[in-house]
Structure 1
């Protein structure tokens, strides 16, 4: 049984804890937070057996076999390094770190020490992505891909009121690109590999980070456009266009309904069977990695997606 310690008491940690309850071979361990009262309340809410007053204490506890890091983006790298150096397997919430170079350094460090390091990118392990891959040959040669994740954050109201909040705080690595844009970018890499080049534009908000943006990626024989936003909503699906048909996707982060429309013929609806909690797949993959599964390809995809984020962040806010 892998006893998983949790760093962070946000809603994403709660969803991860719920997913752990659905995966055989993994159990909740201690909850770590500098705020011991908050840690105790959170541990009680998710059914964790205990707490620790911070990451160092969690890593030193004898009853924790692995850790899940859901702390602010800006501290992921140092926390991953501490866990890896302690010989503790790490599942780190997306984005894993702030730059591709940081990720490559940490992956090298983990491999040298024989420690598992995996990004908690749920899209990579979602049955909806497998369903997309299975259907793609039916639409012929791919010519255009349009992936999007646009969802207005309730915390944007705080920004509009003149306040700062973690997910929009550039000092903590907050941005719409890092929070939501990584989903379509990762799906793009997962399905088609890394593009030859990518160009994009980001719209700045009062928090001094991007609130939304768009990018165009160039592949051999087709182009892909990617859109992300935390300040607007959309009713538009994602789509893949081939010479023999098109495939629309209800949500690229966790596809549940696909519509295949052939060039000549009737549309076909494909409903994807999947766990209610979309984080189950990443927990299963992490469990398997701890038990010896090779995650080299997983780590490489994370690095490729982070490189795309790096390139998009090079352009100034508009």
Structure 2
């Protein structure tokens, strides 16, 4: 069976998701929504040989009877309302990170999805990567965990716009932006998937001229160890991510698109490469798992992802509020 899906959000991540999803041969792009007809048609035209409906009216888009699911990749602040209407229309939802602005919004969406018998899945690509799974399954090899450091810093060209006095969406709290919501969420998601929900969390942000965070350091407190998370959109870092144990250290060059995994033994002074070849299409593994869950009605796997999404958002929401980084609905 192939699931027909529609998309909201005509940006680069949407093109990437479509390419990877359709490569599974279980997803089929069937509809595109854009506020402008010209943009919708231009976006759809890139997928020749496919019958794709285009919409500029969201209600008509939601009610397209040919759609089984909707991929929501709009600006962060719109996720909740658009996911809600998609579910109300009887569609499964693949929701780009960050899922929602607040835990209350996410709770409402999961409640609605269950009432409708539909799947709501947040699009965390990195936790579905083969090498991320190897990283997680290898933690017992390092003995008692003593700590971890996870880094994800990528310079955004839109930061230059900030320096010119502009307020791009990703650096605008009114649009649900900020580096933690846009970039740091990957590090939080990685830590929660690896170690579970933390006991406590503290964020030390670098506040920029827009009033949002351009980056920062986040410390997660676990029983017996802490995890340091480093994220930024103001600069790029090539620092690896590491998990430290009494017996060995696990090292990956990045926390997404992981090319290799190393097990470093300080006693043997050895470095063993234990990773596998990285998937060329970096969103394909998540798209495969998402469609598998929906087609097989795997509520157990969906429940694990739901618990993960809730825990990640609770951390982000807590530390944002601690630092006065408030979204419109919180003021």
Q: Would the alpha carbon gap of residues 54 and 277 (structure 1) be closer, same or farther in structure 2, given more than 3 Å must change?
A: farther
Counterparts of 2:151 and 2:278, CA distance in 1: 21
**Counterpart mapping for 1:38-49 below 5 A:** 38-47=39-48, 49=52
* Aligned equivalent of 1:171: 174
CA deviation after TM superposition for structure 1 residue 317, in Å: 6.3
Q: Is residue 216–residue 231 contact of structure 2 (8 Å, CA) maintained in 1?
A: yes
Q: Is residue 215–residue 231 contact of structure 2 (8 Å, CA) maintained in 1?
A: yes
**Counterpart mapping for 1:141-290 below 5 A:** 141-265=144-268, 266-290=270-294
Secondary structure, aligned partner of 1:282? helix
Counterparts of 1:246 and 1:185, CA distance in 2: 20
Instruction: Flag structure 1 segments of 5+ consecutive residues without an equivalent.
Output: none
Aligned residues: 318
Match of 1:68 among 68, 71, 84: 71
CA deviation after TM superposition for structure 1 residue 213, in Å: 0.8
* Aligned equivalent of 1:11: 12
* Aligned equivalent of 1:139: 142
Counterparts of 1:117 and 1:132, CA distance in 2: 26
Deviations 1:85-115 (A, max 9, x none): 1111000100011112211121011111111
* Aligned equivalent of 2:133: 130
Q: Does 2:303 align with 1:300?
A: no
Q: Is residue 203–residue 323 contact of structure 2 (8 Å, CA) maintained in 1?
A: no
Instruction: Give the alignment's Cα RMSD to 1 decimal.
Output: 1.4
Q: Is residue 119–residue 302 contact of structure 1 (8 Å, CA) maintained in 2?
A: yes
Q: Does 2:31 align with 1:24?
A: no
Instruction: Flag structure 2 segments of 5+ consecutive residues without an equivalent.
Output: 326-331
CA deviation after TM superposition for structure 1 residue 276, in Å: 1.2
Deviations 1:150-186 (A, max 9, x none): 1110111111111221211211111110111111101
Q: Does 2:108 align with 1:105?
A: yes
CA deviation after TM superposition for structure 1 residue 296, in Å: 0.8
* Bigger mean CA offset, 276-285 vs 188-197: 276-285
Secondary structure, aligned partner of 1:57? helix
Counterparts of 1:169 and 1:55, CA distance in 2: 24
* Bigger mean CA offset, 53-62 vs 236-245: 53-62
Q: TM-score, normalised by structure 2?
A: 0.93
* Bigger mean CA offset, 154-163 vs 65-74: 154-163
Q: Does 2:122 align with 1:115?
A: no
CA deviation after TM superposition for structure 1 residue 116, in Å: 0.9
Q: Is residue 70–residue 91 contact of structure 2 (8 Å, CA) maintained in 1?
A: yes
* Runs (4+) off by over 6 Å: none
Counterparts of 1:107 and 1:75, CA distance in 2: 16
